[in-house]
Amino acid sequence: MRGGDVDDRGGDAVWGLGSTMRGVTSSVNDNVVGIVACMQDFKSKLQIRQFDGCCFIQNIREEASKSGLQKLEEDILSKMGVDRVGGGRRMIRDRLCHKKVLIVLDDVDNPEQLKALVGSHDWFGERSLIIITTRDKHLLYIQKVNVIHEITLLNNNEGMELFCKHAPQGDKNIEDYEVLSNDVVSYVGGLPLALTVLGCFLRDKDMNK
């Protein structure tokens, strides 16, 4: 969802993608909080430096149920560098309406979540970018996004090949990681980004620990 210009109001969303990367996220430079550290090319592809603030809100479906939407609203404000995080959605609108921001909302499953966290297009400054991942395509129509990317899942062989490309030392030691590889591919359900992220994350890890 891009904010600001009347001619540039809409949205960018990924349909068919839920949260599959719990436990493998960390902070990276340029205040991109929550983006997986090994995805260094993500910063260049989205030209992170052009944004006034960036944040990644992960696993919204579960977190909203567990902690409530107010906590997620406060998370956005905090990650955007706002000192006073009270005030919820009104504060998001008032403090970010003149800023060009990048916000990634992961695993949205309820229209109220979008209403609380990103509201309408005038909440954010011109050329802002809101990326939404969800398994419910209908939510994207409710939010009036203008770009929807449908995820194509990989089959088991394709998933294994992609994971091994990024996993420890590539295919050379694949036999040592056969059990792990099968577990990972089964766990993420054929999602290309998750396989890439987990492969990169495990590259420098001791698999015996």
Under DSSP, the state recorded for 12 is: E
Alpha carbons 194 and 179: distance in angstroms, whole number: 18
pLDDT at residue 47, rounded to an integer: 54
Q: pLDDT grade, residue 208 (50/70/90)?
A: low
Q: What is the pLDDT of residues 85-131, one digit of tens each?
A: 677 889 999 999 999 888 888 888 999 999 999 988 889 998 888 88
**What long-range pairs does 66-75 form, CB within 8 A, spacing at least 24?**
69/112, 69/113, 69/116, 69/117, 72/113, 72/116, 72/117, 73/116, 73/117
The pTM is what? 0.63
pLDDT at residue 17, rounded to an integer: 46
Q: What is the pLDDT of residues 10-65, one digit of tens each?
A: 345 555 444 433 333 322 222 233 333 333 444 455 555 578 988 888 889 999 99
